[in-house]
Structure formats: C-alpha cells, structure tokens
C-alpha cells in the first residue's frame, strides 16, 4: 500500500527544525496482535531558511502524530471479523429458525428422491446446517440425528434453503410444536372431536387439539405434564396413533420432543437408555418441515452410490451446495 507524501517536522541540530517528507510505505508487518505496523522511509529535506523555533516537545509530538496517522490509515483497511459465540448461534437457531437445513438418508439403488421424505408422508426431519461446520465424516454424521451409516445403500444428502419459508412451515421438533403442526396438517372437523373419531388421522388430530400447555413456575413440573401426555401415545391403547406418527411424521419412540435428536438412539429397542443417557446425548437441534418437493424446499441434493471408503468422506454442506442438483438429486461419484 502506497501513501502520498506528507510533511512533518524533525529537530536536526541546535534549535532549528527541518521539514521532512514521508514518500511511501515499504510494506508492513503484523505484530502478532492483529496490528499492522508500517515500515516507511523518511526522506529528509534540508533548507537554508531558518525555521520558526519549536520546542523539542512540539517537534516530537508532530512526528508521533504523523506516525499515528500512518498506522491508523493502514489499520482502517483491515476490517476485523467478530466471531459469534456458539451459545448465541445455538440460541438463534432455536428461538428463531435457521432456514438452512441438512437432511441425510439412505435409499435402495434405483429409488428416485423428489421430495424431502417418502411420498405420502406429511413431514420430514432435518437439522441445522450451521451445526455441521467443520464437516463430519459420513461415518459419524448420522449418529447425531439418531441414525446410522448404511454402506450398502445410496446416500442422499440435501441442503435446503427455502426461498419461501412459509412453504415448508418449519418448526423446532418439540412436542408442543408437533401437536400444533398436526392441527394445521390435519385440521379436525368443527364437531369431529365431540364423538369418537373413526380414522387414525382424525383421532390424532383430536389428540393434538386436546393438548394444553399452561405456564408453570417449576421446569420439571411443566416438562412432566408435556411428556406424560405425549407418553400415552406409546401405551397399548394408542398403538394406532403411534403408527400414524411413524408413517406421516417419521416420529418413532426415539423422538424426544425436546427439539434435540438423541444421539445413538437408532438401536433404542435393543439398547435401552436411561433418562440420564438421553439427556446427555441430546445434542443436535432438529426440525420438522412439510414434505414438499425438493424444488419448493430450495434444496440442492446429491446421491452417492456405495464405494469402498465412502464412510471416510466428509459430508460438507458447501460441497452439497456446489455439486448438488437444484431441486433434483444429482449423482456424485465420491465425497470429498
């Protein structure tokens, strides 16, 4: 960076001051604290005229002031990037919605994926893209979403940034949000819940409508109320409703309803967990979106057939964005 010359004053001998010019900056170095220290050449110009007397203090002040202006000028060209604390990032993704989602699934060869979830389902689970930077290996990624890697099937990975968020009606995957989403997806008849509904869909709609969430002054009491109500879905009298949730929302017994997927919960039926384990493993925020087309959800999608070492590749959101098809799943031979 080169600066135009400017004039300052330097005391030379006796009480006389001679003007000098700073022609240019000869590069610069970083002092290790993010400050750009300019290295400059000072060219002295002598003069035969007697200059007005200045005190040594005044002369030194002018030189120092000139130097400060030089350093400040260079520093102004460097804009510091302020990192956002992870706790603020996580809060923003839960209080609001990220509108930037990742979804990973494994499908048999030949299956064409055109919607977020399987055809006929009402909702699909996704996670927040920002949680997975730097990218994880494929072998590790699914565990955080309550899944497992499947080396025998085709990997389908999509990054979705809906242009019209209302189209996907995304919500953090909590039980209260699920019940409200069901009321929107399967609105019950005005008087349909006064008598016993016949179909599982109508029964589920009435079950969701009957949920109340009063404020409480004790967190365990409030949570116990919600989980007790949701827990009845898994007793013997509500098996049809539990099946409806699986088929239409992808909600299995491993669903916590806290807005977090439970890591390592894929094998919950054969490896039960304590409440302590469940709470500790609730790591990755999860959301449910309407099961719309990939195009409507603003998705870019890749499909990767099995190959030796695929599980060691990185599931990089930037790669999915760059290599994936716009609204369609594009075949990619290898992960980065």
Residue that terminates a domain, selected from 31, 55, 75: 75
Residue 151 falls within a domain, yes or no?
A: yes
* CA atoms of 36 and 73, how far apart (whole Å): 10
Helices 175-185, 200-209: axis angle to 10 degrees equals: 130
In a domain, 214, yes or no: yes
Shared-domain flag, residues 191 and 225:
yes
Same domain, 97 and 183: yes
Does 253 lie in the same domain as 135? yes
Least confident of 87-96, 202-211, 304-313, 321-330: 87-96
Assign 239 a pLDDT band (cuts: 50, 70, 90). very high
Task: Give the range with max mean pLDDT: 5-9, 85-89, 149-153.
Answer: 149-153
User: Which residue in the block uniquely carries the two structure tokens 């000098």?
Assistant: 20
Examine residue 82 and state whether it is found in any structural domain, yes or no.
no
Summarised one tens digit per residue, pLDDT across range 180-234 is: 999 999 988 888 898 888 899 999 999 999 999 999 999 999 999 999 999 999 9
9 has pLDDT over 60: no
pLDDT of residue 145: 92
pLDDT tens per residue, range 148-171: 999 999 999 999 999 999 999 999
Number of domains in the chain: 2
pTM of the model: 0.75
The pair phi, psi for residue 278, each rounded to 5°, is -65, -45
Q: How far is CA 216 from CA 153, 207, 220, in A?
A: 47, 22, 9
CA atoms within 13 A on the CB side of 186: 24
Q: Write down the residue that tokens 């002054």 correspond to.
A: 217
Structure tokens at 108: 């048999």
Contacts of 112 (CB under 8 A, 6+ apart): 329
Q: What is the pLDDT of residue 86?
A: 81
> What's the confidence (pLDDT) of residue 49?
44
318 confidence band (pLDDT: 50, 70, 90): very high
Which domain does 194 fall in, by range? 87-331
Taking 70 as the threshold, does the pLDDT of residue 59 lie above it?
no
């Amino acid at each position: 960076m080169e600066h135009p010359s400017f004039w300052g004053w330097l005391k030379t001998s006796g009480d006389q001051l001679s003007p000098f010019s700073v022609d240019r900056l000869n590069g610069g170095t970083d002092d290790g604290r993010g400050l750009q220290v300019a290295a400059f050449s000072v060219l002295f110009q002598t003069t035969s005229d007697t200059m007005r007397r200045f005190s040594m203090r005044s002369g030194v002040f002018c030189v120092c002031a000139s130097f400060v202006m030089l350093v400040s000028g260079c520093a102004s060209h460097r804009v510091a990037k302020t990192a956002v604390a992870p706790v603020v990032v996580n809060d923003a993704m839960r209080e609001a919605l990220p509108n930037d989602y990742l979804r990973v699934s494994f499908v048999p060869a030949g299956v064409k994926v055109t919607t977020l979830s399987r055809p006929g389902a009402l909702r699909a689970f996704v996670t927040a893209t920002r949680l997975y930077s730097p990218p994880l290996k494929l072998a590790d990624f699914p565990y955080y979403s309550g899944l497992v890697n499947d080396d025998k099937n085709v990997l389908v990975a999509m990054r979705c940034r809906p242009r019209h968020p209302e189209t996907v009606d995304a919500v953090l995957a909590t039980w209260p949000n699920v019940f409200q989403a069901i009321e929107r997806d399967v609105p019950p008849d005005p008087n349909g819940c006064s008598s016993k509904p016949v179909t599982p869909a109508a029964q589920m709609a009435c079950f969701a409508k009957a949920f109340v969430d009063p404020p409480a002054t004790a967190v365990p009491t409030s949570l116990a109320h919600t989980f007790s109500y949701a827990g009845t879905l898994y007793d013997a009298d509500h098996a049809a409703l539990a099946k409806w949730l699986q088929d239409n929302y992808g909600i299995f017994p491993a669903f916590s309803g806290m807005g977090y997927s439970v890591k390592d919960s894929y094998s919950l039926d054969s490896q039960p967990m304590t409440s302590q384990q469940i709470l500790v493993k609730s790591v990755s925020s999860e959301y449910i979106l309407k099961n719309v087309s990939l195009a409507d959800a603003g998705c870019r999608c890749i499909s990767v057939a099995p190959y030796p070492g695929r599980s060691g590749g990185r599931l990089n959101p930037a790669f999915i964005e760059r290599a994936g098809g716009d609204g369609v799943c594009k075949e990619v031979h290898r992960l980065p």
